[in-house]
């Protein structure tokens, strides 16, 4: 069967590659971006004015998948009611960020580029040679030197205040003159992104090939649901994403908090308990009554009270989330959601725990989530059947295999639990009981 390409689709007049018109640069063109912001951009931009230049940072795989396909790929949407396939034509250039650094900086410096979006995951938000932040600073520096036209840098990662975190990192690590320019000319809106996008499998690629009549090495799979709430704070023009259903609001924080604590919090809880119970997929785990009940308690008893002042509806939102997890057509692996737990725990569960403790409550289900993570880490280190995929894996392994008690050793990992939680005796007592419960 032929490979997906502009020729294969009969659209060979569409420019692709270094000379193609581009208005957006995206750092981290993994599956999530391709199934989320790229889809919104295509729907918002029928004339193709906002071509995307997609950048890979850690591995060139996606560049090698997309380049032979002229940037074309498809999204296989899998819902309980059936599947649909759409070809996305919005990607007009791809850059391997680790080898084509000059070309990346030139793209970010190009005045035609008005927005840089990012999906670099939790672990991308730190500086270091070759990382996303350093590449972005290099690009912004080139833009400043080349005339300094205003630009928006839009984080699309699952972090509280993602835009503010990014702004602080960029301003603190740029040279003085670039930081001064950026403080005036670069905007860093916050955004809340949502769509479940499991890793693509060979079975997905075979199904898509049947529907498409061509092989698509860059296929992504997603649930039908998608949501994007963006802080309306742009330095220059942007695609009319609202035409594709995005919500532009003054304050994203309540949406972010609800999504992180309800959806991602219960996702992580179900992933750890599910993986420990032997479930391969989130859909299987979320269909187990005991796990579904634990997730519901987390949402209703622990999370909802912490969100009361935000004024957004929580329980119906939570019901819909658990329904989405049960989508049997989506083989989302428990171990995929379980990865990078040391960075995910904070925004997903510990915020709920801290707020509840400050209000004098004991959030047992959120604490169960922490116990499930600890037990998962222990099982991954000592039994070796579950993967420990985490940037702090060495620290975690040392904590599990060291002489101390498991709970104390893991609670002492300060970047995860801070100085406050290990001091909270009631929290510790409850966590210890939950560890016994999970072990059972």
CB of 270 to ligand CS2, least distance (A): 9
Name 319's Cβ contacts closer than 8 Å, sequence gap at least 6. Answer: none
Q: Is 74 in the site for ligand CS2 (CB under 6 A)?
A: no
Stretch that binds ligand CS2, among 94-102, 128-136, 200-208, 336-344 (CB under 6 A): 336-344
Nearest distance, CB of residue 30 and ligand CS2, angstroms? 11
Contact indicator for 94, 67 with CB cutoff of 8 Å: yes
By the rule CB under 6 A, 119 interacts with ligand CS2: no
Q: Is 43 or 337 the residue whose CB approaches ligand CS2 more closely?
A: 337
Say what angle helices 289-297 and 364-382 make with each other, to 10 degrees: 130
| Phi/psi-derived region of residue 164, left when phi > 0, alpha when psi is between -120 and 50, beta in every other case | alpha
- Residue 26 binding ligand CS2, by CB under 6 A: no
| Of residues 304 and 337, the one with the C-beta less far from ligand CS2 | 337
Kindly state the smallest distance separating residue 423's Cβ from ligand CS2, in Å: 28
Residue 120 binds ligand CS2, judged by CB under 6 A = no
Q: Which of 52, 221, 337, 410 binds ligand CS2 (CB under 6 A)?
A: 337
Provide the minimum distance between the beta carbon of 344 and ligand CS2 in the complex, in angstroms, as a whole number.
6
Among 70, 194, 355, 390, the residue binding ligand CS2 under the rule CB under 6 A is 194
Select from 22-30, 170-178, 194-202, 285-293 the region that touches ligand CS2 (CB under 6 A). 194-202
For the chain, what's the residue count? 440
Residue 211-240 contact track with ligand CS2, rule CB under 6 A, x = bound: ------------------------------
**Is residue 149 a contact point for ligand CS2 (CB under 6 A)?**
no
Comparing CB distances to ligand CS2, the nearer of 238 and 333 is 333
CB 194, min distance to ligand CS2, A? 4
Among the listed residues 196, 220, 222, 416, the single contact to ligand CS2 using CB under 6 A: 196
Q: Which is nearer to ligand CS2, 235 or 283 (CB)?
A: 283
Span from 95-103, 108-116, 191-199, 364-372 in contact with ligand CS2 (CB under 6 A): 191-199
Residues forming the site for ligand CS2 (CB under 6 A): 158, 194-196, 264, 267, 336-337, 344
């Amino acid at each position: 069967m032929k490979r997906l390409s502009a020729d294969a689709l009969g659209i060979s007049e569409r420019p692709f590659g270094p000379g193609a018109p581009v208005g957006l640069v995206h750092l981290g063109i993994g599956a999530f971006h391709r199934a989320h912001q790229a889809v919104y951009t295509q729907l918002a931009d029928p004339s193709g004015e906002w071509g995307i230049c997609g950048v890979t940072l850690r591995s060139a795989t996606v560049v090698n998948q997309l380049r032979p396909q002229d940037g074309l790929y498809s999204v296989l949407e899998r819902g309980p009611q059936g599947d649909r396939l759409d070809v996305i034509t919005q990607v007009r250039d791809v850059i391997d960020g680790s080898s084509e650094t000059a070309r990346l900086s030139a793209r970010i410096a190009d005045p035609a580029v008005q927005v840089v979006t990012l999906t670099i995951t939790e672990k991308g938000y730190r500086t270091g040679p070759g990382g996303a932040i350093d590449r972005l600073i290099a690009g912004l520096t080139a833009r400043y030197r080349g005339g300094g036209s205003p630009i928006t840098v839009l984080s699309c990662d699952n972090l509280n205040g993602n835009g503010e975190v990014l702004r602080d990192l960029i301003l603190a690590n740029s040279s003085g003159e670039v930081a001064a320019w950026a403080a005036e000319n670069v905007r860093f809106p916050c955004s809340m992104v949502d769509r479940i996008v499991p890793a693509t499998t060979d079975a997905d690629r075979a199904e898509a090939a049947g529907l498409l009549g061509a092989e698509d090495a860059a296929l992504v799979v997603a649930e039908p649901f998608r949501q994007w709430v963006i802080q309306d704070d742009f330095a220059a023009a942007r695609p009319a994403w609202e035409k594709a259903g995005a919500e532009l609001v003054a304050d994203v924080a309540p949406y972010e908090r609800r999504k992180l604590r309800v959806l991602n919090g219960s996702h992580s809880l179900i992933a750890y308990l599910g993986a420990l119970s032997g479930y391969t997929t989130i859909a299987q785990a979320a269909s187990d009554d005991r796990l579904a009940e634990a997730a519901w308690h987390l949402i209703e008893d622990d999370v909802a009270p912490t969100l009361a002042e935000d004024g957004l509806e929580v329980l119906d939102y939570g019901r819909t989330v658990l329904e989405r997890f049960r989508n049997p057509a989506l083989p989302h692996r428990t171990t995929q959601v379980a990865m990078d737990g040391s960075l995910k725990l904070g925004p997903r569960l510990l915020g709920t725990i801290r707020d509840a403790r400050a209000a004098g409550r004991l959030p047992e289900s959120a604490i169960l989530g922490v116990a499930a993570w600890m037990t998962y880490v222990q099982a991954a280190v000592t039994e070796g059947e579950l993967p420990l995929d985490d940037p702090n894996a060495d620290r975690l392994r040392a904590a599990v295999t060291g002489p101390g008690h498991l709970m104390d050793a893991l609670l002492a990992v300060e970047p995860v639990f801070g100085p406050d939680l290990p001091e909270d005796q009631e929290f510790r007592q409850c966590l210890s009981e939950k560890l016994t419960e999970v072990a059972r």
